[in-house]
Amino acid sequence: MAFVITQPCEGVKDASCVEVCPVDCIHTDDDAPMYYINPDDCIDCAYCVAVCPVSAIFDEFTVPANMREYVRTNRLYFS
């Protein structure tokens, strides 16, 4: 299992999640609208979930139905 960042992060890009991640698996670039979690590096600690100010982070199995597309979007960012 990995965690996925979803729609509420778009345009916000608060770096709280990056700051608490113990394995530095949360990435973005200047052109990206949000942050992305590398599913291969994520250790499922969930520290990012607790600090996200917009409640945008879910484990991939509990992403709300209306945001399921972000599971694929996140994986594509790292492919």
Sketch the domain layout of the chain as residue ranges.
3-77
**Averaged pLDDT, 39-43:** 95
Query: Nearest to residue 9, comparing CAs of 45, 48, 41, 65?
Result: 48
* Phi, psi for residue 74 in degrees, rounded to 5: -65, -45
Query: Nearest to residue 44, comparing CAs of 4, 74, 1, 73?
Result: 1
Rounded to an integer, what distance in angstroms lies between the CA atom of residue 35 and that of residue 48?
A: 11
Residue 1: per-residue pLDDT: 72
Q: Please say whether the beta carbons of 59 and 47 come within 8 A.
A: no
Mean pLDDT across the chain, nearest whole number?
96
Residue 18: per-residue pLDDT: 98
CATH number assigned to the domain covering 3-77: 3.30.70.20
